[in-house]
Amino acid sequence: MRERRSVAECLHDAFSLEGEVAVVTGGGTGIGFAVGKALTGLGARVAITGRTESVLREATEKLGNRATYLVHDLRQEGTVSVLLEKLAAEVGPITILVNNAGVHLKKAATDTTTDEFKALLDTHVLGAFRFSSAVVPHMVKAGHGSIVFMSSMTALIGMPQVIAYSAAKSAYLGMMRTLACELAPNAIRVNAIVPGWIDTPMLAKAIKNDDERKRRILTRTPLGKFGRPEDIGWAVAFLSSPAAQFITGTVLPIDGGASVGF
């Protein structure tokens, strides 16, 4: 007779990330750290990356024994594959990638230099491309995978003084859709999250000394508040779990309703 499983057991299996190995770029602070916390909380082994070792070390200690860190600059050419091969040799094939790392530039379009524009695209777009390309062989070997791009509200709505950032985050959505189609035959799912205004150091910098900007953000957000990094972390965990096994090519706004608010 077939053994009946409890609802709790079914839910555990649906959302469990035990046996998975994840890489979270920019995982030392803010949203990236919250993503790492959610993934480790569901059983995944997680490697966070970033440029500052002291920040990564402190974050890893907080995340616990399922976490490790890799010091890496997204702008470096030809180093990602070696980095991932070393990680895989230590903990197993990488099955989750979260393209989260990035920098912000608040500057009028007419004042943004070509070099500034290129530098931001190099960090966001080329950095995510390098990691996504390098991780695919690992996911193919594992027989499945999940790639999540961390986009932005600037990819959905017009916003002044962020032309380079907007271009980069919009590029994420195009990359995501193409990869979702190309990698589906290998059981690799690719999705994007569009965080609204989340209470992080990056947001604090963006609205510093700009009370009118803060007021406008909260006014156009139906829930009337900033989100928490944890709101994004749990969404990434869901998209990376078996519960989302039929979800690919999706853009998921987590914005308190801001993208549809009036």
Q: Reply yes or no on whether 69 is catalytic.
A: no
pLDDT grade for 159, boundaries at 50, 70 and 90? confident
Q: What is the mean pLDDT of the chain?
A: 93
Angle at which helices 127-142 and 80-91 cross, to 10°: 30
Residue of 33, 69, 131, 165 marked active site: 165
pTM: 0.93
C-beta neighbour count of 57 within 10 angstroms: 12
What mean pLDDT comes out for the span 210-219?
A: 88
Three-state SS at 68: strand
| Tens-place pLDDT, residues 104-122 | 888 999 999 999 999 999 9
The yes/no answer on whether domain 14-253 falls in CATH 3.40.640.10 is: no
Tens of pLDDT along 23-80?
Answer: 999 999 999 999 999 999 999 999 999 999 999 999 999 999 999 999 998 888 788 9
In the chain, domain spans: 14-253
What pLDDT is stored for residue 2 in this prediction? 53
SS3 at position 117 = helix
Look at residues 110, 107, 84 and name the one whose alpha carbon lies nearest to residue 165: 107
